Amino acid sequence: MIVKIRRPQMRERIDGDMRILTVVAKCAGALVPGLRRFQLQRLAGEMWDNLIRETDLLQEARNIRRFGEAYKQRSDVYVPAAFEALCSEAILVQVMSHGRSIEDPVAVRDGPRIAGVLVDFYLEQLLKTGSFMAIRIPATSS
């Protein structure tokens, strides 16, 4: 089992940094008219929203469950389950998975096949679910 813990005060740091970035974006748009078309304040807001979502570990646990369900039929991909009952917004508890380094001689010899699985799986993620998650391939697991 692995435990991922969000650093204390991380949300407060994100909020502080993003407030500064929002002010900088507003000033940049006001001072440099050519930048207005990029809608820097809107982009900063989207960035802020995404950072908040990315640091919600309970949401990450839900995403892991959905992702695992979507790809459970694949024998060449392993999605370590999250223990949602033990998770919170700041803590993620997940099954520990073991693997080999890409520099391991066994993985190097099997490189072309592993690369094929990776490419196939990433394309399936993008085209089938419109999502992306890092994965572990059994061929590289010990």
pTM score of the predicted model: 0.72
Number of compact structural domains in the chain: 2
Last residue of a domain, one of 36, 54, 72: 54
Rg from Cα positions in the chain: 20
Residues 135 and 108 in one domain: yes
Backbone angles phi, psi at 98, to 5 degrees: -115, 150
Residues 23 and 77 in one domain: no
Residues 61 and 123 in one domain: yes
Model pLDDT for residues 76-124, shown as the tens digit of each residue: 888 899 999 999 999 999 999 887 777 888 877 888 888 898 899 888 8
Model pLDDT for residues 22-34, shown as the tens digit of each residue: 999 999 999 999 9
CB contact at 8 A, 29 and 36: yes
What is the predicted pLDDT for the residue at 46? 97
